[in-house]
Amino acid sequence: MILVPGRRQLLSDQLYGQILDQIVAGVLNEGDRLPPEKEICKMFGVSRPVVRDALLRLRADGLLRARQGSGTFVMRRPVDRIKEFTKSADLARFLRCLEVRMPLEAAAARLAAERRTSAQLTKIEAAHQRLIEDVSTGHITPQNDLSFHAAIADATGNEFFAQVFAPIHNSIVGFMNVSLNLTRTGSRERILQVLNEHTLILEAIQGREPEAAQVAMQFHIERSRRRVTDRAQDT
């Protein structure tokens, strides 16, 4: 198969998606060794830098593991239901967006805990209450999830946080759609876990505990990634 550059897709995203498809389908199973980089280049008609970028990000997402002198192996399979909600190449872009969100939102949570006003806290609490109401219906909506995170960004007192998030808004919503659809069709325990992560963030901001807020946000975003990329988390 030869990959063709698209207007909205990087070749490395397409290759990421092709390899991910093989892992999801069981063509590549846990413990299997991938072909050498040179062979992957020939198989997909791409350059070695494209292959290296795709493999690097698959490793960063916990799907592959490199063993010195032995090659690259499948470490774990992602959630089997993932293809019901997104294309694999799109997932690659969403996960790259998550790498940006991790440091930014952790910093935003820390600053919000330090600087939030009573009015700003009220907005965060209102957004959290909407998440609680969503849980009662069994479906957290991306809009309410995003509102919670946006309220935290506003509470930093730094307008540049909102400006930084604006260009990646579509990718953030795209990832939330995938993650929350998996949660909606998963167990009750899973949706309660998502709510609890938001509650921990809120409580740290309420208590003006910057470090706790930062850690809680980092934990939430990492768990969001794992709920998509690790089949063992699909409860």
**β-strands 71-74, 64-67: how paired?**
antiparallel
CA 14 to chain centroid, in Å, comes to 18
- Assess if CATH 1.10.10.10 describes domain 11-77: yes
- For residue 209, count other CB atoms closer than 10 A to its CB: 16
In which residue are the tokens 């479906």 written?
139
Q: Do the domains 81-233 and 11-77 match in fold?
A: no
Nearest-angstrom CA–CA distance, 49 and 63: 19
Going through the chain in order, the beta strands assigned E by DSSP cover 64-67, 71-74
pLDDT by 10s per residue, the chain, length 235? 545 444 445 788 889 889 988 988 889 999 999 999 999 999 999 999 999 999 998 998 888 999 988 899 999 888 777 778 888 777 877 888 888 899 999 999 999 999 999 999 999 999 999 999 999 888 888 899 999 999 999 999 999 998 888 888 888 888 888 888 877 777 788 889 999 999 999 999 999 999 999 999 999 999 988 888 876 665 5
Entry pTM: 0.80
> Is residue 65 classed as helix, strand or coil in its secondary structure?
strand
Fold of 81-233: Four Helix Bundle (Hemerythrin (Met), subunit A) (1.20.120)
Please report, for the chain, the start and end positions of each structural domain, with discontinuous segments joined by +.
Answer: 11-77, 81-233
